[in-house]
Every structure is written in structure tokens, then in C-alpha cells.
Copies of this chain bind each other. A is one copy, B any other.
Amino acid sequence: MSSSFGTLFRITTFGESHGPSVGAVVDGCPPKITLSEADIQPQLDRRRPAQSRLTTTRNEADRVSILSGVENGKTLGTPISLIVKNNNQRTGDYQQIHSVPRPSHADYTYQMKYGNRALGGGGRSSARETVARVAGGAIAEKLLYEDCGIEIVAWVSNVYSIEASSIDIMGITRTDVDRSIVRCPDSDTSEKIKEAILEAQKAGDSLGGIITCVCRNLPAGLGEPVFDKLEALLAQAMLSIPATKGFAIGSGFACSEMRGSAHNDLFIKKGDRLGTKTNHSGGVQGGISNGEPVLFRVAFKPTSTISLPQQTVDFNGNDVVLEAKGRHDPCVVPRAIPIVEGMTALVIADLALRQKSR
């Protein structure tokens, strides 16, 4: 297990999907930041199940409590512990999986790794674990916003090949994003994505998608070469989110089709700093932020839990047809938005503190 992330601003998460609670300890948050549960709850609400008819019916209020590290509304500089109760566990749904590893789930690999595993739902491999990341990420965001006005906004840019048309990355807000039930701020595309998800849901199937995230107002200088480059830590952070299969910054994989003369971001004067004319770099050069918006994309696979019967084998290798009963989202990207934002905030808060020590 490796349940901690960050060097100076450091989160440690705990909790199984169907245990009594999930939570986090955030160590290294500077003192005297104004903080209460009200700063954290909105992002948890955006991640909450049962928030629309497109999401799982598991009903969790996901109310966060701060157990330490804050007194009289201000952080103390000591570890902030956060807890969210699980109310709607339903381990009975998972009886068949005791003997049958669900395809593309982690039942088989956890069993091989630990020789033991949580039998209710996915235990630690469940997306429920990300509640803790979202809560911790909200604290990181508070710090970043108060400190230097850093803003992080993610949205659904693609589901099942339905792609959002160009978004104004300097102007887009979470309010814009949340106007769409599928969190795609291009209303035409949003409607098409909604239809596609509903259809998949009806068919007992699921869909993959892509989230794009922008991080604005980042000062130049964040990122710790050579191994903790900004894009390297973002990549780790994103690929640590359940169901992700790819990460791309700036031009991403399209860079492989370009010439240097087209890809290079020429410098221009922007007020009293240097900026770049284009942003194929995605806001980083040599692993360090350059003052331009950091822009990246994350690919999410279709939900592994589907209602359609699957021809697979049990742990003993015997043929079996699996028909899942667990509650699930037909497409995870709408609810993954605050997870991507939270992990981004955790990466940047840590790098900001590391740079401050210099």
C-alpha cells in the first residue's frame, strides 16, 4: 500500500468502499488559512453518487467532518483529519464476486497481491476511495486560491467519440461546467453525450470519456526536475485515479505528428513577463511551469461494472457467466471532474510549498 501523496503538502487516505467510513489526513497545510467544512463540502457534493439519473443509485450524503488541525476557523499548521461516513453499504450485492473476479476490476489483482481482499465491493480499489482525495484536494485549492489566485477547472470534453467543440480555457468556470448534467460546457455536445449515456445505461453497458483540465494563474517556477517535474507528478496523480488509461499535456500525442518549427512556443512579451504565442507545451517547459495555463487531458475507460452478462471464469478457472448486481455509473467522467481537480490541487500545492523553501 502506498496511501500517501506529496512531500510537504501530504495527503494520506484510508477507508474501504463498504467499511464504516473513508477519510484523509492532510499534513503540511500552512497555518492561519481560513477553513471549515463549508470549504470542502461543495466538491464532495459534485462527486456525490445519486446526484442525477445518470449516476449510481448508491445514496451517500457524503458529509465531511474535520477532526483536527483547525481551531476557531483557522488552520493550526498541524495535520487536518477529515472523515466521511459510509451510510449506504450493501455488501449483499457482491456475493457472487467472492468466487468470481469481475473482469477489468481489481478483485483478481488484489487477491494475488495480498492473498486477501475486501469482499464488499472493491474495498480500496473502489472509486469510493476518491472521496478522501476530493476532500483533501479542496483544502489544497483553498490554499492555492488564497495564496495566488490559482484556479483549477475541469470538464468533460469527450464521451464515446462525441467531442466538445472548442472551450474558452481562460474564461470557463465551474458554474459553466455544472450547467450541464454531464459536465460538458458545450451545450450541443452535452445533450448528445447525455443521450449516449442514457442509451448505454438502458443497454446495461457503459461508456468511456475524456476530461480536460486547465490550471490558471500558476506562477512560473513550479515543478522539481528531474523526477518530480510538474507534468510527471500530474501524470502520476491522474493515473492513480481509478479507471484512467492515459494522460496528455499540451499538444499530447498529437505532438508526434508535428514538426519542431510548428510545435515550438515562441516567446512574446506579456505585460512585465515573458509569455508564449502558442501553448503546445501546456504551460510547462523542462518540467517547470512557465506562467501560461497548464492544460492536460485524462482518458477514462468505460465503467467495468456492466449489467450485461459476461462469459468469464471463477478463481478456480471454471467457466461462469457473470451478471453484475452492484450499483454503478454508466459513465464515470461527469463525477470524476472534482477528483481530477482535487488531485491537480494536491500536486500544485505541494510544488508551491517546495518552491517557497528555495
How many angstroms between the C-alpha atoms of A4 and B288 in the bound complex?
17
**A-B contacts besides A2-B27, A103-B267, 20 pairs, CB < 8 Å:** A2-B225, A3-B27, A4-B27, A13-B226, A14-B79, A30-B358, A31-B116, A71-B123, A77-B358, A103-B276, A106-B225, A108-B285, A110-B286, A206-B259, A236-B236, A246-B249, A246-B252, A255-B299, A258-B302, A274-B313
Whether B274 contacts A317 by the Cβ 8 Å rule is yes
Stretch of A17-25, A37-45, A50-58, A177-185 on the interface side: A17-25
- Complex A-B: 28 CB contacts under 8 Å: A1-B28, A2-B226, A3-B79, A12-B27, A71-B119, A71-B120, A75-B116, A104-B285, A109-B287, A109-B288, A125-B286, A159-B256, A206-B261, A207-B259, A226-B240, A240-B287, A245-B249, A245-B250, A245-B255, A245-B282, A248-B253, A251-B301, A259-B302, A260-B301, A260-B305, A266-B310, A267-B312, A269-B317
Q: Does A257 contact B (CB under 8 A)?
A: yes
* Residue in chain B with minimal CB distance to A132: B226
Q: How large is the interface on A (under 10, 10 to 19, 20 to 34, 35 or more residues)?
A: 35 or more
A148 CB to nearest B CB, Å: 14
Whether B113 contacts A77 by the Cβ 8 Å rule is yes
Whether A232 contacts B239 by the Cβ 8 Å rule is yes
Q: Does A334 contact B (CB under 8 A)?
A: no
A86 CB to nearest B CB, Å: 10
Q: Does A69 contact B (CB under 8 A)?
A: yes
Task: Please give me the 5 A-B residue pairs with the lowest Cβ-Cβ distance, nearest first.
Answer: A106-B286, A206-B260, A236-B236, A2-B228, A246-B248
Contact with B along A320-355 (1 / 0, CB 8 A): 000000000000000000000000000000000111
Q: Does A169 contact B (CB under 8 A)?
A: no
Contact partner of A25 (CB less than 8 A), chosen from B12, B222, B236, B301, is B12
- Which residues on B sit within 8 Å (CB–CB) of A16? 68-69, 71, 76, 78
